[in-house]
Amino acid sequence: ALALALQLRIDQQLRALLPDDARSTARIDALSERLGNQSELYVTVRSPSREASLAFAEELAEALRGRPELRYALFHLDRAFFEKNALLYADLEDLLDLRCRVIDRIRAEVRKEMALFPEDEGGEGVKAADEALGENELRERYELDTRLPEYYETPTDDGVLFVIKARPTGSDTDIAFARQLFKVVEETAADLHPEHHHPAMEVGIEGSYAEQSRRVGGLQGDIVRGSAIVVGLLMLVLAAYFRGLRAIVLILVPLLIAVVTALGIARLLFGELNLVSAFIFVVLLGLGIDFGIHVLGRYRDERRRGLGVNEALAVTMSTTSVSTFAGGLSTALTCFLLIVADFRGFSQFGIVAGIGVLLALLGAIVVLPALVVIFERIWPWRAAAPKQVAEAVEAAEAAAAAPAGRGRFPWIAGLIVAASLGAAALAGSHLGDLEFEYDLGRLDEPVEKPPAGTKAKKSGHEPYRKAVGRKTTLAPAVALTADLEQTADVHRQLAALTRLSADEAEILASGGELPLPPAFDGCGHTLDPNDADGDGASAEDVDDGDVDGDGDDAGAAGTDEGEDEVIDEEEDDVRDPAFLALAARARQHRAIDPEVRELLRRYPGDRLRDMHDRLYDLASVYSFVPELQAEKLAVIRDIRQRIRDKAGVLSAADQERLKTWEPYLEVDAPVSADDLPEWVRLQFTDEAGELGRFVVFWTKGAKSDYRNSKRIYDAYRELETRSGEAPVAASFFVIPEIVDTIRGDGPVVLGLSGGVLVVIALLLFRRLSSALLVLGTVSLALVWLGGILWLQDWKVNFFNVIAFPLLIGMGQDDAIHILHRSREGARLGVVLRETGGAILMTTVTTVLGYGGMVFADHLGLYSLGFTAATGMTLCFVASVATLPATLRLLRWIRGR
Distance of CA 345 to the CA centre of its chain: 16
Mean pLDDT calculated for residue range 438-461: 55
> Can you give the pLDDT at residue 645?
81
What is the mean pLDDT of the segment spanning 502-510?
90
pLDDT of residue 656: 74
Residue 216 clears pLDDT 90, i.e. is over it? no
Which residues make beta-bridge pairs with 153?
162
**pLDDT attached to residue 60:** 95
Q: Quick one: three-class SS letters along 423-459? A: HHHHHHHCHHHCCECCEHHHHCCCCCCCCCCHHHHHC
The Cβ of residue 328 has, within 10 Å, a number of other Cβ atoms equal to 26
Return the CATH number of the domain spanning residue range 214-444+736-895: 1.20.1640.10
Burial class of residue 724, CB neighbours in 10 A (0-12, 13-18, 19+): exposed
Would you call 116 helix, strand, or coil by DSSP?
coil
- Contacts (Cβ under 8 Å, ≥6 apart) of 884: 413, 818, 822, 828, 831, 832
Tell me the C-alpha distance between 166 and 388, whole Å: 74
Q: How do beta strands 272-274 and 9-11 pair?
A: parallel
Residue 458 confidence (pLDDT) above 50:
no
pLDDT at 140: 66
Rg over CA atoms, the chain = 40
**Residue 359 above 50 pLDDT?**
yes
Q: Which of 440, 471, 490, 442 is nearest to 40 (CA)?
A: 471
104-to-53, 109, 118, 524, 611 alpha-carbon distances in Å: 46, 9, 16, 13, 43
More confident site: 549 or 698:
698
Report which listed range, 63-67, 114-118, 375-379, 480-484, is most confident: 480-484
**Digit-coded pLDDT (tens) for 16-73:** 888 888 898 899 889 989 988 888 889 999 999 999 999 999 999 999 998 999 999 9
Helix H segments across 702-827?
Answer: 706-716, 734-765, 768-791, 803-823
Cα-Cα-Cα-Cα dihedral sign, residues 532, 536, 539, 543:
positive
Give the DSSP H/E element, type plus range, for residue 159.
Answer: strand 159-168
The mean pLDDT value of the chain amounts to 82
Residue-level pLDDT at 416 = 93
pLDDT of residue 468: 78
Which pLDDT value is given to residue 75?
92
The mean pLDDT value for 665-693 works out to 92
The pLDDT of residue 719:
96
C-alpha 738/C-alpha 513 separation (Å) is 39
SS3 162: strand
User: Which pLDDT does position 404 carry in this prediction?
Assistant: 45
Which position has the higher pLDDT, 403 or 174?
A: 174
- pLDDT for residue 553 is more than 70: no
Highest-confidence range of 23-27, 133-137, 171-175, by mean pLDDT?
Answer: 23-27
- Average pLDDT on 424-447 reads 84
CA distance 400 to 249: 34
Query: What sign results for the dihedral spanned by CA atoms 720, 726, 732, 736?
Result: positive
The band of 217, judged by pLDDT with boundaries at 50, 70 and 90, is low
Confidence of residue 685 (pLDDT cuts 50, 70, 90): very high
H and E: helices and strands count for the chain: 39, 12
| CB-based burial label for 681 (10 Å; 0-12, 13-18, 19+) | middle
- Rounded average pLDDT over 679-696: 93
* Residues 253, 239: Cα–Cα separation, whole Å: 14
Structure confidence at residue 415 (pLDDT) = 93
Whether the pLDDT of residue 767 is over 50: the answer is yes
Relative orientation angle of helices 246-270 and 344-362, to the nearest 10 degrees: 140
Half-sphere exposure of 267 (CA within 13 A, CB side): 16
What pTM was estimated for this model as a whole? 0.75
Taking 70 as the threshold, does the pLDDT of residue 236 lie above it? yes
| Annotated domain spans of the chain | 41-89+143-206, 214-444+736-895
Q: Tell me what the mean pLDDT of segment 157-185 comes to.
A: 85
Sheet holding 724-730, edge to edge: 615-619, 694-699, 477-480, 724-730, 718-721
Per-residue pLDDT at 587: 80
Residue 353 and residue 262: Cα distance in Å, rounded? Answer: 8
Count CB neighbours of 546 within 10 A: 15
User: φ, ψ for residue 13 (rounded to 5)?
Assistant: -70, 140
**Average pLDDT for residues 524-548, to the nearest whole number?**
46
pLDDT number for residue 538: 39
Q: What is the pLDDT of residue 824?
A: 74
pLDDT band, residue 470 (cuts 50/70/90): low
Query: 184 and 69 in contact (C-beta within 8 Å)?
Result: yes
Residue type, 870: T
Q: Region 160-189: what's the mean pLDDT? A: 86
- Please give the pLDDT value at position 133: 53
Mean of pLDDT values over 567-577? 64
Residues 6+ apart with CB under 8 A from 430: 786, 787, 790
Q: Average pLDDT in the 337-351 region?
A: 89
Q: Give the whole-angstrom CA distance, residue 371 versus residue 248.
A: 12
**∠ CA 829-834-838, rounded to 5°:** 135
Residue 405 has pLDDT above 50, yes or no: no
DSSP 8-state symbol, 517 = P
pLDDT band of residue 552 (cuts 50, 70, 90) is very low
* pLDDT, position 457: 37
Q: What is the pLDDT of residue 850?
A: 83
Dihedral angle of Cα 612, 616, 618, 623, to the nearest 10 degrees: 90
Section 226-245 average pLDDT? 87
In this structure, the number of other CB atoms found within 10 A of the CB of residue 737 comes to 23
Average pLDDT score over residue span 337-350 = 88
